[in-house]
Amino acid sequence: MALLPAELETSREQASAQYTQVVNALAAGDAQAEAQAEAFLKDHEGSYATLLELQLAKSYVEAGDLTKAAQQLRKVQSSKDATLKTLATVRLARVEAQQGNYDAALKALDGVTAESWKAQVEELRGDIQLRKGDMAAARTAYAASIAAATNPVVQMKLDNLSQ
């Protein structure tokens, strides 16, 4: 049975309020926040759930649980929203790099094709290549980042690479 417009609006308002409560609990480091988030995700689909999965991943990163953060980000990668999917992919690449999984991080970045993300993706690619010890690849990535969008921080990274 379909909800009437007034019932649908009430349902959306309740979901919004619940989402806000869970996000606030995560931000406050509430011990029950993870359980609240998981319960919310079971009951809701769509953008609120995807946004909460991103918040939960952030919470896991802050707690130092990179494995759980990566799991959450992989869930977001299945989102229908291209922007959220790309955001999750870039964040997953950062998490993979932090774990020392450089090849997995670089492979994740290969999946980001939107031109609007090129500068950020290439900077991250350069950072990962630098961690791997591949100065030439880092230099190439930093140069590509600068070509996409001038950024003095990336220019400094490029300048600091020994020739």
User: Tens of pLDDT along 103-135?
Assistant: 999 999 999 999 999 999 999 999 999 999 999
Q: What is the mean pLDDT of each run of 10 residues along the chain (163 residues)?
A: 58 74 80 78 73 90 95 92 93 97 97 94 97 96 95 93 72
Predicted pLDDT at 26: 81
Helices and strands per DSSP (H, E), number in the chain:
9, 0
Here the tokens at position 83 are 């922007």
User: Which residue has 């802050």 as its token pair?
Assistant: 62
Predicted pLDDT at 153: 94
Residue span(s) of the chain under CATH 1.25.40 come to 13-23+43-112
Q: What is the DSSP secondary structure assignment for residue 116, as one 8-state letter? A: G
13-23+43-112, which class in CATH? Answer: mainly alpha
Predicted pLDDT at 80: 86
Q: Which residues of 24-40 are buried (b: 16+ CB within 10 A; e: fewer)?
A: ebbeeeeeebbebbeeb
Here the tokens at position 159 are 């300048």
CB 49 within 8 A of CB 41: yes
Report pLDDT digits (tens) over 128-146.
999 999 999 999 999 999 9
